[in-house]
Amino acid sequence: MEIRKFGYYWLDTWVMANVIQLATQDFCLRHLNRTNDPCGRQFDQMTQAARSAPANIAEGNSRHSTSRETEMKLTDVARASLAELANDYLNWLMQHEQIPWSMGSQEYAAVNAIQLDRPTYRDDVQHQSSKHILAQKHKFDAWLSGDDSMQAANCLLVLCNRLIQMLHRQIEHLLNEFKEEGGFTEGLTAERLSHRTQKSIAANAPTCPVCGKPMIKRVIRKGINSGKEFWSCSGYPECNGTRRIT
């Protein structure tokens, strides 16, 4: 029950999003002040964008069994929020006449090489996952915990871009699943058709004259015969076999 309830806690994307949220909150508390952010708007915008990522990943994954479309949309919202946050860190660097680390630099390579541990919690998920997230965050302490805002901004920019790519792959995976399996609506339709087919078999319904599959009763929706029932192949739309009901 707990695994189904907290399925997103096992997602690397959700764990990384929480690392970025915690690190962003710390960054804003350390480096934003009344001088460079007199109205507090930058603080609000950055912390809210950081919060949006894990929140939308969690909400989207929670809709996995009922709406793949909603799950993909919310995951994409998380990705868009991270793009906004990444731009804030890029802007912070350029405000201070700095440019982001080159992808070929040692610093970039060092941060990007750090991998997340796989979750090992089996019960008491919220307790154990919180410990896990904090442990992953501490892997980046060399760049995040000091007073150098340039180093922290560069590190978080790398992490944001990395998570954006992770979410892009997650959305592609969800899209492929949807193509193969359909969504909630398609699942309901398949279940309903299966139920009607089994009822027809039990009631000795005729077989399709084209393919031999059991037939089910349908109602004509349009035309002069609207409202009348007819036998239709249970394999429709792959098979269009029909019979009149006598």
Q: Are residues 157 and 206 in the same domain?
A: no
Q: Are residues 7 and 72 in the same domain?
A: yes
Nearest C-alpha neighbor of 50 from the set 20, 79, 75: 20
* Neighbour tally for 98: CB within 10 Å: 15
Look at the block and give the residue holding tokens 């929706």. Answer: 221
Whole-structure pTM value: 0.73
Q: Are 171 and 76 in contact (CB under 8 A)?
A: yes
Q: Are residues 175 and 192 in the same domain?
A: no
Q: Are residues 72 and 165 in the same domain?
A: yes
Q: Are 216 and 234 in contact (CB under 8 A)?
A: yes
Q: pLDDT value at position 4?
A: 44
Helices (H), 96-148: 106-113, 125-138, 141-144
Of 182, 207, 235, at which residue does a domain stop?
A: 182
List residues bridging with 214 in a β-sheet: 207
Q: Are residues 24 and 108 in the same domain?
A: yes
Q: Are residues 134 and 97 in the same domain?
A: yes
Q: Are 47 and 125 in contact (CB under 8 A)?
A: no
Give the structural domain span for 232. Answer: 185-243
**CA 28 – CA 98 distance, rounded (Å):** 18
Q: Are residues 154 and 212 in the same domain?
A: no
Report CA 23 to chain centroid distance, whole Å: 21
- pLDDT per residue over 28-72, tens digit each? 999 999 999 999 999 999 999 999 999 999 999 888 777 788 888
Q: Are residues 124 and 15 in the same domain?
A: yes
Nearest C-alpha neighbor of 217 from the set 199, 202, 229: 229
Q: What integer best gives the mean pLDDT of the chain?
A: 87
Amino acid at 38: P
Q: Are residues 80 and 122 in the same domain?
A: yes
Q: How confident is the model at residue 224 (pLDDT cuts 50, 70, 90)?
A: confident
Of 182, 206, 226, at which residue does a domain stop?
A: 182
Of 136, 163, 182, at which residue does a domain stop?
A: 182
Show the tokens assigned to 96: 């201070």
Q: Are residues 68 and 51 in the same domain?
A: yes
**CA 157 – CA 108 distance, rounded (Å):** 10
**CA 154 – CA 152 distance, rounded (Å):** 5
The number of domains in the chain is 2
Q: Are residues 133 and 64 in the same domain?
A: yes
